[in-house]
Structure 1
Amino acid sequence: MFPLSVPAKQLARLQAGAWVLDPFCGRGSTNYAARLLGLGSVGVDSNPVAAAIAEGKMVATSAEEVAAACAEILATPIEAAPPEGEFWTRCYHPRTLDELCRVRAALLADHESPARKALRALILGLLHGPRNKGAPSYLSNQMPRTYAAKPDYSTRFWERRGLQPVRVSLAELVERKAFHYFGSTPPAVPFRVLCGDSRKLDLTASGPRFSMVVTSPPYYGMRTYVPDQWLRYWFLGGPPAPTYQHPDQLSHGSASEFAEQLASVWANVALACMPGARFMIRFGGIHDRKARPRDIMQEALAGSGCQLRVLTVRTAGLSSRGKRQADQFQRSLGAPIEEWDFYVRLEGGR
């Protein structure tokens, strides 16, 4: 993940009143760093899971309000049939799955209040994860927390090990975790989190022009964000099975095509920035693509058609994404690879 320390360091130099943009906001590290510094921000991501989590980090609410929102939903008669199939009966205890489906239905109908936005984000983090010896921290049978293993693989894994889902009270878990995550929150700041395509959205309509852009685009060839988060995507209204196509996702057909699409993002972003705005972009690659990440990003910046001047390119060291808690499902991943930080300035305006 994009560490919070990266945007926090970059944004610390901004003056009060400055606005920050992250056109690939993921789970909102840049936006949350801006909140800690009292800065307004806009985050954009095409992945609804990422956008929902980022928004949940930014709303002004309290642990009591989040817990009360969950209790209120569960106290209301709601009919929500659970998905069918062996995966669902092995992944969740029947009573837990019933509660989960009822809260899902309620939040799909109405998630406009800050408390419900926060509840939605909180449950996305509780949907699946490892089982421990103490009080449960997740709702599911044994599963990694950072990605959802596919249904067939999961059911074979649980069956071979004789693992059965345990009863977890959704209300109790939400209340306990709400006080952990929302017991003390930073002061509210103006913000917007948009689920959409940064190549096409009118970012000039988001508020004041941006003084700084801090972001980490998807790495070329990395197309598994939505399939890896298929359970969380289901909770947000997606199908009860992995989906491998998602609108607004950058195409990864070739390195040159990918660079061209990134160039269109930078061109669109520049329209919403102040003259002299600074960009900090972290970018890397994955093992099954031979293209050099540094070359892709330099081609994208040069092809944007706007006055983006590359000031510095520095190595960011090795990515920490290589592990991803894969050991719980005996999933092997390659060694981390080098990432790069691009420091860029918008010369003039658009």
Structure 2
Amino acid sequence: MRHRFHAICPYFAMFPETFVEKYLVFSKPGDLVFDPFSGRGTTGFQSLLSGRRAISSDLSAVAACISRAKMQAPPQRDIVMRLAELSDGFCEVDDAAHDDEFYKACFAHHTLRQLTYLRATLNWQNDIRDGFIAALILGRLHGESHKSSRYFSNRMPRTIATKPDYSVRWWSKYGYVAPERDVFQILKTEISYRFDTGRPEAVGEVVQADARQANGAFAHYKNEVKLVITSPPYLDTTHFAEDQWLRNWFLGGQARARKMPRGDDRHTSKAQYWKFLGEAWGGMKELLARESVVVVRIGGSKIDFEEAKNGVLNSLAAGLERDVSLRSASESEIIGGQLRSFRPSAAGTKREYDIVVNVN
């Protein structure tokens, strides 16, 4: 049975746990596995379930929150007790969202008050109980509420949040109204559901940090990483800060989506992209054991198979300053894809590539 922690929060451009399972054969129980682009924490969590040790990093607060919830989950009773405390202490707080056209259209009146109270109260960065509850909220914050009563918002994709002005126009055009949702009751049900498959005894370490800073963030694991399984941001595919803006808001970020400058997670220049990856691999070079394996799933509408192989190999050699050799490479078509699930005509990335590299 699939562990229910895996689906705590749907995430754009995520790989399944079967991808991790396939490549854990390059390690043995007790080995340290690292993911410098943690996303929703699949590599770290599946590694723990398989008897490995695990560390993960991601620059995104959303990714760090979700990954930490899976890899450092407290006992169920502690979370239930904390949720009861929060429910008993509920009160209205001042929040600009209460008077914002988008938020008033996105969430029912009482639902929004519950969310802004939790937003102001949860200490998700320092309390693992609060962190787990926050991760559950991120997973339920927006989605296809006309299909499932587990989502808090008006109709919206579950993997990314559409922009405020567009959302309001779309809801108004079709007469969609935010559903009445009791956040505390849904969270109570979610906790029970997620823990139905148990809680791993082992815990991992998650740091919110740029991949290029991993050597310093995990200095106490120097030369210990035997296996890296990761998927860097795809070339010119998504901008996580923009796409996850509503979840970022809940974690304390901006109340409105802002147009972001094109940064490291959405390069349009191939040269800049491979340079960034070289720097990212350099950020973990002090962590790798003498003989290790790096598994990279990569994609991008402008990258073909040969370029993916050469780009990963060359960037690893440059960043790690070690001998690297190709162990295997494969390609697959992205069937459906989350982007095309709500934008059927979107071009986007059609293929992705799995590159396995020996590091000596």
Q: TM-score, normalised by structure 1?
A: 0.89
Instruction: Give the 3 Å change call, closer, same or farther, for CA 94–212 of structure 1 in structure 2.
Output: same
1:105 aligns with 2:120: yes
Q: Which residue of 1 aligns with 2:240?
A: 225
> What runs of 5+ residues in structure 1 fail to find an aligned partner?
none
Kept in 1, the 8 Å contact 2:300–2:349? The answer is no
Q: Which residue of 1 aligns with 2:251?
A: 236
CA deviations 1:167-197 (Å, max 9, x no partner) are 1001110011111112333422231111111
Q: Which residue of 1 aligns with 2:4?
A: none
Deviation, structure 1 residue 295: 4.0
Kept in 2, the 8 Å contact 1:59–1:188? The answer is no
> Structure 1 residue aligned with 2:128, among 114, 126, 130?
114
* 2:316 partner letter: L
Kept in 1, the 8 Å contact 2:75–2:199? The answer is no
Q: Which residue of 1 aligns with 2:7?
A: none
Give me the whole-angstrom Cα distance separating, in 2, the residues matched to 1:65 and 1:305: 42
After superposing the two structures, state which structure 1 stretch, 84-93 or 74-83, moved more: 74-83
Deviation, structure 1 residue 227: 0.6
1:86 aligns with 2:107: no
After superposing the two structures, state which structure 1 stretch, 56-65 or 210-219, moved more: 56-65
Q: Which residue of 2 aligns with 1:68?
A: 81
> Structure 1 residue aligned with 2:150, among 110, 119, 137?
137
After superposing the two structures, state which structure 1 stretch, 167-176 or 60-69, moved more: 60-69
1:147 aligns with 2:160: yes
Instruction: Give the 3 Å change call, closer, same or farther, for CA 284–337 of structure 1 in structure 2.
Output: same
Q: Which residue of 2 aligns with 1:207?
A: 221
* 1:87 partner letter: F
Give me the whole-angstrom Cα distance separating, in 2, the residues matched to 1:269 and 1:43: 11
Q: Which residue of 1 aligns with 2:281?
A: 266
Q: Which residue of 2 aligns with 1:310?
A: 325
Q: TM-score, normalised by structure 2?
A: 0.87
SS of residue paired to 1:42: strand
Give me the whole-angstrom Cα distance separating, in 2, the residues matched to 1:31 and 1:110: 19
* 2:115 partner letter: L
Instruction: Give the 3 Å change call, closer, same or farther, for CA 286–251 of structure 1 in structure 2.
Output: closer
After superposing the two structures, state which structure 1 stretch, 50-59 or 204-213, moved more: 204-213
Kept in 2, the 8 Å contact 1:197–1:248? The answer is no
After superposing the two structures, state which structure 1 stretch, 148-157 or 177-186, moved more: 177-186
Give me the whole-angstrom Cα distance separating, in 2, the residues matched to 1:231 and 1:258: 27
CA deviations 1:121-167 (Å, max 9, x no partner) are 10000100112466x11001111111111111111111111111121
Instruction: Give the 3 Å change call, closer, same or farther, for CA 116–35 of structure 1 in structure 2.
Output: same
Kept in 1, the 8 Å contact 2:301–2:348? The answer is no
Give me the whole-angstrom Cα distance separating, in 2, the residues matched to 1:277 and 1:301: 12
Deviation, structure 1 residue 294: 3.7
Matched ranges for 1:231-310 at <5 A: 231-245=246-260, 249-250=264-265, 252=267, 254-286=269-301, 292-304=307-319, 306-310=321-325
Deviation, structure 1 residue 65: 3.1
Instruction: Give the 3 Å change call, closer, same or farther, for CA 233–264 of structure 1 in structure 2.
Output: same
Kept in 1, the 8 Å contact 2:124–2:131? The answer is no
Give me the whole-angstrom Cα distance separating, in 2, the residues matched to 1:337 and 1:269: 29
Question: What is the RMSD of the two structures over their aligned residues, measured on CA atoms?
Answer: 2.6
Kept in 2, the 8 Å contact 1:203–1:269? The answer is no
* 1:39 partner letter: R
Q: Which residue of 2 aligns with 1:124?
A: 138
Q: Which residue of 1 aligns with 2:72?
A: 59
After superposing the two structures, state which structure 1 stretch, 184-193 or 96-105, moved more: 184-193
Matched ranges for 1:175-214 at <5 A: 175-201=188-214, 202-207=216-221, 209-214=224-229
Give me the whole-angstrom Cα distance separating, in 2, the residues matched to 1:245 and 1:11: 36
* 1:33 partner letter: Q
Identical-residue share of aligned pairs (%): 28
